[in-house]
Structure 1
Amino acid sequence: MIPSPAPSRRAVATVSVVGAGRLGTAMARALTEAGLTVNGPFRRGERARRADVVLLCVPDAEIAGAARAHAGIGRRLGHTSGATPIQDVDFGLHPLQTFLGGEGLAAFRGIGCAVAAHDHDGLGVARDLVDALGARAFVIDDGARGSYHAAASIASNYLVTLEDAAEQVAAATGLSPAETRALFAPLVRSTVENWAAHGAASSLTGPIARGDEATVDSQRAAVAEHAPALLPLFDVLAERTRALAARKEPSP
């Protein structure tokens, strides 16, 4: 793995995207809108056309096979996995964003993209693609990929799991999932913006932050009654929130 100093720039004009899932579809559309010539996205079993870069947007378990199938048809071969090392490709480029598949260039503007490569040319290709997308490249070493991708999953995937739990608990009030999302979404957005601006400890509010354990006990009883399957999750979250509250600096 090479260090992070910026390599010399090398233009990428053509890209073949392999994988027609959510990311592959969004990546192909975004790179096209950025002015590159894009082939694909190619589906499973299809061989990509020759291009400056072949970009694999396939499930992690399929990367090695796809790399073998598409070896030699591009100047550089890359994958878009956040968790998989780059031993089978020349570079990695992982957009730190969630996609539904219909997005274009606007969805990539300003986001972070984790890049890695075996040499400066590979890193230059990855950076060129990130620049074309209007995103921000940052280097992740293969040895740190597990921690990086776990952090991304906690920040994104597990947040969705928590919001689903909130919908289930709120059902006891008579609110439908759609009503819960409409009513709670402004709270969630404000919380995330506060975290982004001030960090977790400074953004924490609620009964645990206030030391109001009686209210926490009342909440726990409600979860136990109406959504008992969520009680272990509630207890773990309460425990970790108490630890976070202990890090919060007292008000002057």
Structure 2
Amino acid sequence: MSTPDSRRSVARLAVVGPGRVGRAAALAFSAAGYDVTGPLGRGDTADRADVILLCVPDREIAAAVAALRTRGALIGHTSGATPLHGSGADFALHPLRSFAGSERADAFAGVGCAVAGSSAEALRVAEELAVAVGGRPFEVHDDQRAGYHAAASIASNFLVTLEAAAERVAAASGLEPGFREHLAPLVRGTVENWAAHGPRAALTGPIARGDDETVARQRAAVAAGAPELLPLFDELSARTRDLALEGPRA
């Protein structure tokens, strides 16, 4: 649910960074009724804004804050990994989603947004911005940020790495190049089950059933067709076995 215009403390917003997040943010905030400038690239200038939102690489945040501080606006960054303290920014607003191909006005709708503020006012602005574009703000403190970002990377980035490994094994077994389209519904269903019921209840397959013979045949196929993935297969098998032995978990 967006924030009604009459309750907003921010009217003009400048988005700095023309990458995926910057383009999505500019579209979303414009659609939400803000006067948006950008996304601005390196060297671009803009009129004065109430808030400057940095959608730049982590290594560039501190320099960008220093360069823009004279404008007098609140400055926020959209990094998930960068602590607020030491960055120079006033607030952080990190949307917990992948932005590949997500340049749409509703890109933030229903998305959890990790927020932080150097003051109560800055935190309130971060929450306001998140809500205005349909996001769901939750506060993440600096001492939680590394663990928060690691969890996000495991859930998202590592999932893609696993799907690439699945495609590699399928290809090595002689399956058609378009086999991904058959794996995708399986992955979506698994993710939905995990979201609704938790990891233990969502677990299926030969390890969950205690079918060691099938697991051994799978391992032999990996060893024959994609031996570089064998350590990954073994580690994941061990972790999955541990999960299968746990009691039900929400």
TM-score category of the 2 structures, normalised to the smaller one? over 0.9
Aligned to 2:30: 32
| Two-structure CA RMSD over aligned residues (Å) | 1.3
Rounded Cα–Cα distance in structure 2 between residues aligned with 1:28 and 1:37:
10
> Mean Cα displacement is larger for which, 78-87 or 44-53?
44-53
User: In percent, how many aligned pairs have the same letter?
Assistant: 60
- Aligned pair in 2 of structure 1 residues 41, 101: CA closer, same or farther (>3 Å)? farther
- Aligned pair in 2 of structure 1 residues 185, 125: CA closer, same or farther (>3 Å)? same
Tell me which amino acid in the other structure corresponds to 1:11. Answer: S
What TM-score, normalized by structure 1, do the two folds share? 0.92
> Mean Cα displacement is larger for which, 193-202 or 95-104?
95-104
Aligned to 2:138: 138
What TM-score, normalized by structure 2, do the two folds share? 0.92
Moved over 4 A (4+): none
Q: Where do 5+ consecutive residues of structure 2 fail to align? A: 1-6
In the alignment, is the contact (CA less than 8 A) between 2:81 and 2:145 conserved in 1?
Answer: yes
- Aligned pair in 2 of structure 1 residues 244, 102: CA closer, same or farther (>3 Å)? closer
> Which residues of 2 match residues 232-243 of structure 1 at below 5 A?
232-243=231-242
Aligned to 1:123: 123
Rounded Cα–Cα distance in structure 1 between residues aligned with 2:100 and 2:143:
29
Tell me which amino acid in the other structure corresponds to 2:244. Answer: A
Q: How many residues align?
A: 240
Aligned to 1:16, the other structure's residue is in SS state strand
Aligned to 2:106, the other structure's residue is in SS state helix
Q: 1:101, CA displacement in angstroms? A: 5.2
Rounded Cα–Cα distance in structure 2 between residues aligned with 1:184 and 1:82:
29
- Aligned pair in 2 of structure 1 residues 243, 71: CA closer, same or farther (>3 Å)? same
Q: 1:102, CA displacement in angstroms? A: 4.9
Rounded Cα–Cα distance in structure 2 between residues aligned with 1:204 and 1:102:
30
Tell me which amino acid in the other structure corresponds to 1:107. Answer: A
Structure 2 residue 71 is the aligned partner of structure 1 residue 60: no
Tell me the alpha carbon deviations over residues 154-205 of structure 1, each in whole angstroms, 9 at most, x when there is no partner. 110110000000100001343344x222111110000000000000011100
Aligned to 2:4: none
Rounded Cα–Cα distance in structure 2 between residues aligned with 1:47 and 1:248:
57
